[in-house]
Amino acid sequence: MPSGLSPLASPPTRYQLRLAASLSALLVLALLVTAPYARQPAASTEALLPAYAAAVLVVELLTAALLMALFYVQRSRAMLLLAVGYLLSGVMAVPWALTFPGVFDALMLDGALQGTASIAAIRRLSFPLFVIAYAVLSDREFPSGSAPRIILGSIASVLAVVALATWFIVSHDDALPQFMVDAHNVSGLWRFVPAAAVALYGVGLIALGLRRRSMLDIWLMVVLFTLLIEILLISYISGGIRLSVGWWAGRFYGLTSASLVLLVLLSEATTVHARLARSVLAERRARQNRLTAMEALSASIAHEVNQPLASMVTNASAGLRWLERDQPHIDEAKAAFGRIVTEGHHASKVVTGIRTMFLKGAQERVPLDLNHLIDAVLTQCNDEARLGRISVSTALEADLPPVIGNPVQLRQVVTNLVDNAVDAMRGTAEPRFLRVTSQRHEFGEVLVAIADSGAGLAGVDKDRIFEPFFTTKPDGMGMGLMFCQSTIEAHGGRLWAVDDVPRGAIFRFTLPAPATAPRSSEPIR
C-alpha cells in the first residue's frame, strides 16, 4: 500500500486542526477548574492505580501497534522510533504500578521508596525524546532489513530494557536518585525531572510545529500538550503530592486525551481500509467495463470502417464505369471520386480516434494538477468560445490535491467534454455559458464539473451517449464520451451526466487523489 493512501500521513484538514485546537483548549479549561482543589488529598485511592495503569498500558500498546503497522507500510525510521517510544512508555507502566507503594503489597516489590519515581522519571523523559527524534528524522530514512524482523527486534529490545531496568530498580534502591522523602511526598531533587520534562515537551512541540507535515504530527502535538498539562497538575499545581486531587486529575486528563488520540488514529486506519476496499472494487468494475466496452467497440469499429469501405468500392466502380463509357462522363466520375475522398477521410478519422485511445504511453501515470490542466484546455478553446459568444467561467478550488494520471489522456477527456459543451450551445439562445469547477470530493477524490447552457440531454438517451459511435451530430464520430468514460474509469474514477436547470447539461467526473502524492514539478499545460 503506498503511503499516500494513509490519511495519517496526509496534511491535516481544517476540521482536524479545529478538533485538535478545541481539545487543547478544553484541557486548559480542565486545568483551571481543577487547580483550586489540586492539593487536596484523595485518600485511599491506591486501589484505582492498577486500573489506571492497565488503561495506560492498553492505550499506549494499541497506539504503538498502529504505528508499527504504519512503519511496516512506510518503512520510515521516524515512525519506528515513535512506535518504540509508545511501546516503552506503555510497558514501563507495568513496573510503575507494581512498585507503587501500598498497591501490590503481596508482591513485595514496593518495599523500596525510590523505585516508582525512578520509573516515572524514565517514562517522562524518554517519551518526548522519541517524539523529538521522530520530528527531526526525515520520513525518507529507511532502515535496511525486513520490516517484520525489525519490528520483532524492537519489541524484544524494549521488553529486555524494561525487564533489566525493573530488576535494577527493584534490587538497588540505594543506588537510585533520592526522589522521594516518603511514600507520598517528593524531595527537592525530583524538581529537576518535571522541569526537564517541560523543557523536552517544549522542544518536541516546536520540532513538530516546524515539521507539521501530516495529521499525525498535529495529534502528537496534542499529546505533548496534554503531557505538559498533566505534569503541571501533577508536579506543580498539586505540589507533587501523590494521590492528591490534582495528581489524579492530571493523570485522568492525560489518559482521556491519549484515548481520544488513539480513537482518531483508529478511525483513520478504518478509513484507509474503506478506501482500499473501494479502490479495489472500482478497479474490478473498471476492468469489467473495459472488457464490455472493448467488445462493443470492436463490433462498432468493424461496422464503422466497413461502411466507408463499401461506399468507396461502390463509388470507385461507378467512377470507372463513367470513365469507360464511349463518351466518358468526367463530371460524374469526379463526383464519385470526391465521395471516395470523403469516405476515406471518415475511415481515417475512425482509425485516428482509436489510436488516441491506445496511444503509446497510455499507461504512464504522473502526479498532475487538474486545475492547470483545465486552464490549459480552456485557453486552447478560447477562440472557439469567443466566436460562439460563450462566456467561460471557472471555480477551481485552490490547493486541489494532485491526481495520478496520464496527462495526455486526461487532457483529451477535458477537451472532449468542453468541445461537446461548445457544440451543444451552437445555435441555442443567448446567454451561453460554460462553467468548469473543481473541488475536493468525498473519500479523498477530486470532482470536476463541466456545465453548459446548451441543448441539454432531454432529447437524447442518457445511457446511450457513452456508447461507441452514438452521435446526434451530422459530422460527429460518437467516440468522444466513450473514450472519456473508459479513460476516467481506467484511472479509478467515474464519469456521468445530468441535466442542468433551467437548461443545458452537466458532465461530472471524479478521480482519486492520493493525499500525499508528490506535486508535479512542473505544471502540465
Q: Which residues bind ligand ADP (CB under 6 A)?
A: 416, 420-421, 424, 452, 454-457, 460, 465, 470-473, 476-482, 505
Residue 358, C-alpha cell as written in the block: 491506445
Q: What is the CA radius of gyration of the chain?
A: 35
User: Which CB atom, from 347 or from 421, has the smaller least distance to ligand ADP?
Assistant: 421
Q: What phi and psi, each to the nearest 5 degrees, are found at residue 238?
A: -90, 5
In a 3-state reduction of DSSP, which class is residue 39? coil
Cβ contacts of 65-69, under 8 Å, gap ≥ 24 = 66/262, 66/265, 66/266, 66/269, 68/151, 68/154, 69/269
User: Which CB atom, from 46 or from 419, has the smaller least distance to ligand ADP?
Assistant: 419
User: Which CB atom, from 53 or from 481, has the smaller least distance to ligand ADP?
Assistant: 481
User: Which CB atom, from 428 or from 520, has the smaller least distance to ligand ADP?
Assistant: 428
Q: What is the DSSP string of 247-314?
A: HHHHHHHHHHHHHHHHHHHHHHHHHHHHHHHHHHHHHHHHHHHHHHHHHHHHHHHHHHHHHHHHHHHH
Residues listed for the chain = 525
Smallest separation (angstroms) from ligand ADP to the CB of 292: 17
Cβ contacts of 61-70, under 8 Å, gap ≥ 24 = 61/86, 61/87, 61/90, 61/91, 62/262, 62/266, 63/90, 63/258, 63/261, 63/262, 63/265, 64/90, 66/262, 66/265, 66/266, 66/269, 68/151, 68/154, 69/269, 70/6, 70/8, 70/9
Smallest separation (angstroms) from ligand ADP to the CB of 409: 15
User: Which CB atom, from 9 or from 421, has the smaller least distance to ligand ADP?
Assistant: 421
Smallest separation (angstroms) from ligand ADP to the CB of 90: 59
User: Which CB atom, from 38 or from 482, has the smaller least distance to ligand ADP?
Assistant: 482
Cis ω before 502 (30° cut-off from 0) = yes
Smallest separation (angstroms) from ligand ADP to the CB of 501: 14
Smallest separation (angstroms) from ligand ADP to the CB of 507: 6
Smallest separation (angstroms) from ligand ADP to the CB of 306: 19
Nearest residue (beta carbon) to ligand ADP: 480
User: Which CB atom, from 95 or from 468, has the smaller least distance to ligand ADP?
Assistant: 468
Cis ω before 308 (30° cut-off from 0) = no
In a 3-state reduction of DSSP, which class is residue 499? strand
User: Which CB atom, from 16 or from 472, has the smaller least distance to ligand ADP?
Assistant: 472
Q: Which residues contact 381 (CB under 8 A, 6 or more apart)?
A: 415, 418, 419, 422
Smallest separation (angstroms) from ligand ADP to the CB of 362: 19
Query: Nearest-CA neighbor of 405 among 480, 509, 298, 284?
Result: 509
User: Which CB atom, from 169 or from 481, has the smaller least distance to ligand ADP?
Assistant: 481
Smallest separation (angstroms) from ligand ADP to the CB of 487: 12
Report the alpha-carbon distance of residue 71 to residue 151 in Å, rounded.
9
Smallest separation (angstroms) from ligand ADP to the CB of 478: 4
